[in-house]
Amino acid sequence: MLLEVSNLSKEYIRSNRPFFAVRDVHLKMKAGDFAIIIGRSGSGKSTLLNLIGGLVSPTVGQISIDGCNIMSLKDRELSAFRNSYIGYIPQGHSILSNLSVLDNVRLPHYLQKRQGDVDKRALSLLEQFGIAHLANAYPQQLSGGELRRVTIARALMNKPKLLLADEPTNDLDAQTTYEVMHLFSEIANEGTAVLLVTHDLSTIHYGKHVYRMDNGELKSLNT
């Protein structure tokens, strides 16, 4: 099993009272799975994604990725693990405006200080996503759909085993949403596990596994 989440909870204090953003979540994914979590704003789905990505520490529970209990890792070890095993697509556009498209996509490779032909890998991803002609362009010259493709390409630069996407179709029109969701399907078909959270009900038919999150609790919608 690539991803195993068990008894996962995250408690915060709000107005001097405790509340659970994530409550007793269990989740399993294999390589190549495409799972979609739907839920309204504030349901806890983004917090769950951040927990799985190692960006937030849980109050209780276990998260295992490719056999590694990420809760046992020290900060530097966790950072290295994330860069090697997890691709993360945050909400909005996180592309650096002072870097070209190609340099943005290459960035994770440099941060990880990996060996290999970085340009070949980056250009291959841009070609796969139909934006190779924009390699030397800058973010301010791109459309919303093109920016999202760059973000996805960057998240895949280090060949992660797990791809996490937080509201990746937010603010996209119907045609661009269709194109982006097909990209995620292709990524899963190539063996990368994809976990996507969204409030957009029109996207759920793309997922092999579909869940609903409400008040921090996760429930499967698969019959």
Per-residue model confidence as pLDDT tens digits over 187-208: 999 999 999 999 999 999 999 9
* pLDDT over 70, % of the chain: 97
Q: Total domain count for the chain? A: 1
Which residues form the domain of 84? 3-220
Global pTM reads: 0.92
Retrieve residue 205's tokens.
């038919």
Bridge partners, 28 (sequence order): 4
The CATH number of whichever domain residue 186 belongs to comes to: 3.40.50.300
The gap between the terminal CA atoms of the chain, to the nearest Å, is: 21
Per-residue model confidence as pLDDT tens digits over 27-61: 999 999 999 999 999 999 999 999 999 999 999 99
Please provide the DSSP assignment of 1-68 as one string: --EEEEEEEEEEEETTEEEEEEEEEEEEE-TT-EEEEE--TTSSHHHHHHHHTTSS--SEEEEEETTE
Per-residue model confidence as pLDDT tens digits over 121-161: 899 999 988 999 999 999 999 998 899 999 999 999 999 99
**pLDDT of the residue at 222:** 86
CB-count burial class (<10 Å; 0-12, 13-18, 19+) for 189: exposed
Sequence-distant (≥ 6) Cβ neighbours of residue 202 within 8 angstroms = 174, 177
